[in-house]
Structure 1
């Protein structure tokens, strides 16, 4: 964001003009939400407070009753100018702040230290006395780059208005869970090379008129000791766009596979090697229900040796070691526990935020990494980062990771592009959760992948 602002300033836009754009743009959101109710604007000493003065002036011009509270005077030239242009009165005490809507402009992005006791108490008091709460840019007390809550007991917000560009905190736990709805206020900043991106709604195409099952993509799922997880992944994969899905079964047979799913007996290592020698496989998935014994390790090694684009999930992540890699295009899909094992196996420190850790693993393994969770992150070996919006918390159900793996693997069979497959698969997974409603099972989720596909077909 600083680099984007610097580019605008270098092109002739001064800080005052940017503050006016940001404040008036945010002010319009506040005006619409307030719907005639009195608004309290809490202004801090920095430029976030300056945005607050602009918001207050905009609201006053629109005819709303506004109370501005500022515990201290503005400390930056831009904030001082914004204060001078505000025609209303400013009070220092929170006792005067009683209204329908609270607007938090105390501290915004760039904060790295906790709020002092007086500021934290004032913020909490005002939040408790307002029915609707809006945070400007980043809620006060939140570290914008990490999503860390720097103070305990910070308020929850109904709406957070990001100024100019998203900050990582908008998509990082625990802060993102407190921000309510997220909206972006455009102030004219451009893109910055190397910046992270928010997971975008994909646009998918139907198969071409001359398509057949192999051209659409043959996916092989290497199953192991616990076939239920592989069957769940296959159920999702059948609905994720691949033209043909085969389960290469292990010691335990699948119980009641659907008729459209081909199951091959590959319990013996020789049989698995023969099956994997089929050049028609566009992609492989290994891990769900694989097991962690020597036989499972051998099945993983055989899959890697086949040289096909591959998704590695669940048990296979725990077994994966650097010496096993063969330059195969990979997508790794660890949750937090599996991530810690991978970091130990690959000699990584495991320090830093989730983005930094995901990038470190992506570079070490030369793979695309989906570090999954309530704040999922996709990292590529070249350092590119994609952050995912908050998905349904109903995804916290056993088997949802198997559904994600099957969906990503299906997209990999279609696209042969690990990065795009990871992005499209993660988006479809989140959309399927939305369509499935509350209290779904992982089986419900797998079947909802087809509905998610329908939402984005061109």
Structure 2
């Protein structure tokens, strides 16, 4: 990346920091011997190398703000000019920090205070990075939009200007879209949070040596899965029971995914209704749920997909919980769930936003704050791992850990996608008996399967792609 080899400097490239955590991490670096100027050089040169490669000889416009993000921009501009690229720097306001003033003084080129005609190629946004909490003023927003419209390729440094770092909120309407965003030092929550993350294009991390921050969120990583042991059998690999209800198609879809998610044996517990259309590899068990659940060989249960919300559904949920098995609770079962029903066992809850709001009411939670804080509050109240689903899915644990998933394919916005996720997580729970591992592995497999299934996927396509996704994660 640069002459200072920031890859060697980094100590933790998977963490996701708040503004306060990032400031503390930078202060720790300075206490260890770096200064603001050195960190700015490191960040600017690392980002500049990305810009140089992307520009491929095209002219570059660098838009600099008054703070240290603008200072990064001056470092980038100087590096590009030294490399022989045609560079134009635009700074609506002069530098306001000492480090930014030093960076400006080191840049030998002309600095314009307004847009200049005839530009094209690549735009680099260094107006404002993390820490911005108020909207851009009209003049600055107009300049940003004008320049974005006149450049074929757009790069944001740290964060696009006009984005709130900790929440992912867009502070102004009509902010430009970017082809590439270069995070400086560490990932920020906005890199993975809607609506801002949808505007950022590809994400790349520029390392500056930030150490691991206790309590920081993390990015969901590809799991390392292993094939069954040489002496494995179906029960040792995990028997999963899926409690069906009023709409058995959803349970069948979850089972289709679960069969491909690693469990050795999947049964649908269908009561007296049966399960028309079940494939031959899927066992359907009829009869009273309490009697079926007396089988001690169940490693995990899934309840919720197609369960219904009537008294019969509530009774089936209560019976499943009373069995005391590791469990994934999804869909209708989340709406019926009450604190008094819970048992001390490994538990994964998989709500979307609407179900999350119901759970917050049922558990006496305020529902206030950003998505990570809300998911943590529910995880601690229910003593369960929570997968808060959406285009910016995340995982929260009762121990206070948060993991954010990279933005998944928008083709996942299809009926039945959640049933596939629930079946996949439940399959991993039956295999591992570990709720945290199951949530991480299942959510990753779900996103990878969407990529493999391609555009205009159906939930059936997605379920069948779980197997190929699992193959990609095998050690």
TM-score (norm 1): 0.98
Structure 1: stretches of 5+ with no match in the other structure: none
SS of residue matched to 1:284: strand
Matched, 1:344 2:361: yes
d(CA) in 2 for partners of 1:172, 1:252? 42
SS of residue matched to 1:192: coil
Matched, 1:452 2:452: no
Q: Is the 8 A contact 1:40 1:97 kept in 2?
A: no
Matched, 1:256 2:277: yes
Residue 374 of structure 1 corresponds to which residue in structure 2?
Answer: 391
Q: Which 10-residue stretch deviates more, 271-280 or 301-310? A: 271-280
d(CA) in 2 for partners of 1:251, 1:7? 63
SS of residue matched to 1:444: helix
Residue 135 of structure 1 corresponds to which residue in structure 2?
Answer: 156
Matched, 1:398 2:415: yes
Q: Structure 2 residue aligned with 1:74, among 85, 88, 95?
A: 95
SS of residue matched to 2:465: helix
Matched, 1:200 2:221: yes
Q: Is the 8 A contact 1:97 1:126 kept in 2?
A: no
Q: Structure 1 residue aligned with 2:86, among 48, 65, 68?
A: 65
Q: What's the CA shift for 1:253?
A: 2.2
Runs of 4+ in 1 over 6 A off after TM superposition: none
d(CA) in 1 for partners of 2:39, 2:438? 38
Q: Structure 1 residue aligned with 2:72, among 21, 43, 51?
A: 51
d(CA) in 2 for partners of 1:16, 1:240? 50
Q: What's the CA shift for 1:99?
A: 2.3
Q: Is the 8 A contact 1:69 1:97 kept in 2?
A: no
SS of residue matched to 1:246: strand
Q: Is the 8 A contact 2:273 2:286 kept in 1?
A: no
d(CA) in 1 for partners of 2:27, 2:296? 52
SS of residue matched to 2:334: helix
Residue 31 of structure 2 corresponds to which residue in structure 1?
Answer: 10
d(CA) in 2 for partners of 1:252, 1:353? 42
Residue 306 of structure 2 corresponds to which residue in structure 1?
Answer: 289
d(CA) in 2 for partners of 1:24, 1:228? 55
Counterparts in 2 of 1:96 and 1:20: CA distance versus 1, 3 Å: farther
Residues paired across the two proteins, number: 454
Q: Is the 8 A contact 1:232 1:403 kept in 2?
A: yes
d(CA) in 2 for partners of 1:375, 1:259? 36
Q: Over the residues paired in the alignment, what is the CA RMSD in angstroms?
A: 0.8
Q: Is the 8 A contact 1:312 1:331 kept in 2?
A: yes
Q: Can you list the C-alpha shifts for 1:54-113, whole angstroms capped at 9, x where unaligned?
A: 000010111000000001110011111111111111110113471200000001100000
d(CA) in 1 for partners of 2:112, 2:411? 44
Residue 239 of structure 1 corresponds to which residue in structure 2?
Answer: 260
SS of residue matched to 2:442: helix
Residue 219 of structure 1 corresponds to which residue in structure 2?
Answer: 240
Residue 384 of structure 1 corresponds to which residue in structure 2?
Answer: 401
TM-score (norm 2): 0.95
Q: What's the CA shift for 1:456?
A: 0.9
Q: Can you list the C-alpha shifts for 1:301-349, whole angstroms capped at 9, x where unaligned?
A: 1111111110000000000000101112110000111111111111111
Q: Is the 8 A contact 1:198 1:389 kept in 2?
A: yes
Counterparts in 2 of 1:317 and 1:56: CA distance versus 1, 3 Å: same
Q: Structure 1 residue aligned with 2:146, among 112, 116, 125?
A: 125
Q: Structure 1 residue aligned with 2:333, among 316, 320, 338?
A: 316
Residue 373 of structure 2 corresponds to which residue in structure 1?
Answer: 356
Matched, 1:330 2:347: yes
